[in-house]
Amino acid sequence: MTGDRKQDRYALAQRVIALVEEDLAADGYELLDVRVFRGGGRLQLRLYVDAADGVDLGDCTRASRTVSMLLEEADVFSMAYVIEVSSPGVRRPLRTAAHFAAAVGQNVELKIDRRGKPEKFRGKLLGCDQQGLVLQQEAASGGPPTELRISLDQLVEANLDPEFDVQALIGADRRRRKAEKRERREQRRRKS
């Protein structure tokens, strides 16, 4: 994609947000973000939604119907498109000041518009205020971390960037399953 077309996808995402956010909120869903990209010869719209009790497949289906109806009525796209509605997952999208305030102290990945070209930055989110974000980046050379101030209007995408040890998660899951089996055996033994 050329630079102009990349910028177009961010503008399209903002247009979709403006069009559907209020109706999704009325249905009980928080629209976290919209990501637009090309794939399979058509436009892909990925909407991330959440709710007070989380979202399941039924919630995603209901939100998708609402979004589909609104986009058809507004006739936003001149080309074929596909709508995907998803829960936020571990790399939760961040878009609003409230999202960033809730993520302070966590690792984030930011995509910032620098002279029409998006650049990625990773680090720990130290703060969020009206002036923007403060990101602590680890120095590549092993030196002291640096702080970077980023204006919210420069952001084109942002996500949580959690660090986790996959092997530790697998081990914890195995231990949990073994404990559950032990408990079931113990309950059967007590019943007999």
State the SS3 of 132-188: EEEEEECCCCCCCCEEEEECHHHEEEEEECCCCCHHHHHHHHHHHHHHHHHHHHHHH
Which residues touch 17 (CB under 8 Å, ≥6 apart)?
A: 31, 33, 34, 95
pLDDT tens track for 148-158: 999 888 888 99
- Vertex 5: Cα angle to 152 and 30 (nearest 5): 45
pLDDT tens track for 19-32: 999 999 999 999 99
* The pLDDT value given to residue 5: 52
* Cβ density class 16-53: b for 16+ within 10 Å, e for less: bbebbeeebeeeebbbbbbbbeeeeeebebbbbbbeee
- Other C-beta atoms closer than 10 Å to the C-beta of 67 total 24
pLDDT grade, residue 4 (50/70/90)?
very low
Higher pLDDT, 22 or 76: 22
Residue 113 and residue 3 in contact, taking contact as beta carbons nearer than 8 Å? no
* The pLDDT value given to residue 144: 86
Task: State yes or no: pLDDT of 6 exceeds 60.
Answer: no
* The pLDDT value given to residue 63: 96
Task: State yes or no: pLDDT of 3 exceeds 80.
Answer: no
pLDDT grade, residue 88 (50/70/90)?
very high
- Residue 83: phi and psi, rounded to 5, are -105, 130
Residue 149 and residue 133 in contact, taking contact as beta carbons nearer than 8 Å? yes
Structural domains of the chain ordered from first start: 3-86 (3.30.300.70), 97-160 (2.30.30.100)
Over range 153-175, report the average pLDDT.
Answer: 83
In three-state secondary structure terms, 39 is strand
